Amino acid sequence: MRVVIGSDEQGMELKDTIKSYLIDEGYEVVDKSEQAASDFVESTLAIAQDLLKDEDSLGIEIDGYGAGSFMAATKVKGIIAAEVSDERSAFMTRKHNNCRLITLGSAVTGPILAKNIVKEFLQAGYDGGRHQVRVDMLNKMA
């Protein structure tokens, strides 16, 4: 699976930890911010634009608190994003909402929890079915 990641300056250390974890687990990793993005909006948009071109990829953005990146991602038509800080939310937002981009806050999420969140997000598959009506509604927004 292809995973697109990025971060601003505050998220670089956690992004690098997650990147190493993903590579060790055998994921193809595309890092949109080898050098820290000047602003979370820049790195979030780079991830979102990549995801729009490759529907099989998932994305992870890290900033200080996750909220700013989440707000930026939800402005991109066709991107369903979720700010997550626990494993269950990461799993369920993928399973029921077909979320393709999660945002994490490095100031509130430690490296062990972040790895577990990423693991759950990437392992969950979208259920479709009754959830598709909601996903279609979300995709019409922005």
In the chain, the domains with their CATH numbers are: 2-140 (3.40.1400.10)
Q: What residues have CB less than 8 Å from 98, skipping those under 6 apart? A: 80, 126, 128, 131, 135
Residue 142: how many CB atoms within 10 A of its CB? 12
Is this structure's pTM higher than 0.85?
Answer: yes
- pLDDT, tens only, 90-122: 999 999 989 999 999 999 999 999 999 999 999
- pLDDT, tens only, 54-78: 999 999 999 999 999 999 999 999 9
Q: What is the pLDDT, as a whole number, of residue 132?
A: 78
CA dist 111 and 51 (Å) reads 24
